[in-house]
Chains A and B, each alone.
Chain A
Amino acid sequence: SQKIEQNSEALNIQEGKTATLTCNYTNYSPAYLQWYRQDPGRGPVFLLLIRENEKEKRKERLKVTFDTTLKQSLFHITASQPADSATYLCALVPNSGYALNFGKGTSLLVTP
C-alpha cells in the first residue's frame, strides 16, 4: 500500500541548533514533494516545493533535499528559533495523478 511516513515522535531541540525532519514514502512515484507548516488551530501553510529531478531547494533558513533512490525527503531548519515550533507536514503529488497526499506530520519544539 502507499504510505508517507514522518517521525511520529515530537522533535525537541535547543534554540540555535539545526532541526532535521524526515519524510519517507513507499509505493509512490512522486512528481514533486511539498513541505507545509501547521500551527494549532490553523490551516497548513506552504513552505517549499521540490521536484523529482531536483536534489535540493533552499529558502532563507530552510532547506529541503529529495532522494528518489532512498525514497526520502529531509527538511532542515538552521539556526532554529522558538517561533519555529509547529507541526511540519510532508506531502507529495504522484506522477500518476494530481491529488496532494499528506503524511501525518512531525511536531517540532524549539526551546530557548
Chain B
Amino acid sequence: NAGVTQTPKFQVLKTGQSMTLQCAQDMNHEYMSWYRQDPGMGLRLIHYSVGAGITDQGEVPNGYNVSRSTTEDFPLRLLSAAPSQTSVYFCASSYSERPNYGYTFGSGTRLTVV
C-alpha cells in the first residue's frame, strides 16, 4: 500500500515557467487537498477536492490550478512560477472531508523558483 505519492521530490524552476506537481493515492479516498508549508507560516490550504470532478479553493489559491478527473489523482499546476511560490508542497487525502481519523500526507515536493 503506497499511500499518497508525490512527484517530483525536488524541483527548481525559473520565474515564468510552468509545471505540474503530481499527487496520487491508492486508498480510494474521496477527499484530496494541497497545502504549502513555509517557515513561520505553517501549513496553508491551496485547493481541495471532495471527489472526482469537484474542486474548490482554499486559503491561498492564487497562481495555482487543479483538476480532479479520477479518484486517484489530484495534480497541482503552477501556470507562471514566481519566487513567492518557493515552498514545500504537501498533498493529503482522506476517505471523506469529515473523517473519523486523520489525513494521510505525502512526503512533499520542495520547489524553488529562481
Decide whether A and B assemble into one complex: yes
A residues lining the B interface (CB < 8 Å): 31-32, 34, 36, 41-47, 49, 89, 91, 93, 98-105
Q: Which residue of A lies closest to B108 (CB)?
A: A43
Give 12 A-B contacts (CB < 8 Å), ordered by A residue: A32-B98, A43-B90, A43-B105, A44-B92, A46-B101, A46-B103, A47-B102, A91-B43, A98-B97, A99-B59, A102-B43, A105-B42
- Which B residues are in CB contact (< 8 Å) with A104? 40-42
Asked if residues B48 and A99 are in contact (CB atoms below 8 Å), the reply is yes
B residues lining the A interface (CB < 8 Å): 4, 31, 33, 35, 40-45, 48, 50, 58-59, 90, 92, 97-98, 100-108
Chain A contact residues: over half helix, strand or loop, or mixed? strand
Summed over the interface, the residue pairs from A and B with CB atoms below 8 Å come to a total of 57
Min CB distance A46 to B, Å, is 3
Given contacts A36-B102, A41-B108, A98-B97, 5 further A-B contacts (CB under 8 A): A44-B43, A46-B104, A101-B45, A102-B44, A104-B41
Asked if residues A98 and B98 are in contact (CB atoms below 8 Å), the reply is yes
A99-B45, A99-B48, A103-B42 given as contacts; is B105 within 8 A of A45 (CB)? Answer: yes
Asked if residues A42 and B42 are in contact (CB atoms below 8 Å), the reply is no
Q: Which residue of A lies closest to B3 (CB)?
A: A43
- Which B residues are in CB contact (< 8 Å) with A105? 42
Asked if residues B40 and A43 are in contact (CB atoms below 8 Å), the reply is no
Asked if residues A43 and B107 are in contact (CB atoms below 8 Å), the reply is yes
Asked if residues B98 and A31 are in contact (CB atoms below 8 Å), the reply is yes
- Which B residues are in CB contact (< 8 Å) with A49? 100-102
Q: Which residue of B lies closest to A104 (CB)?
A: B42
Q: Which residue of A lies closest to B106 (CB)?
A: A43
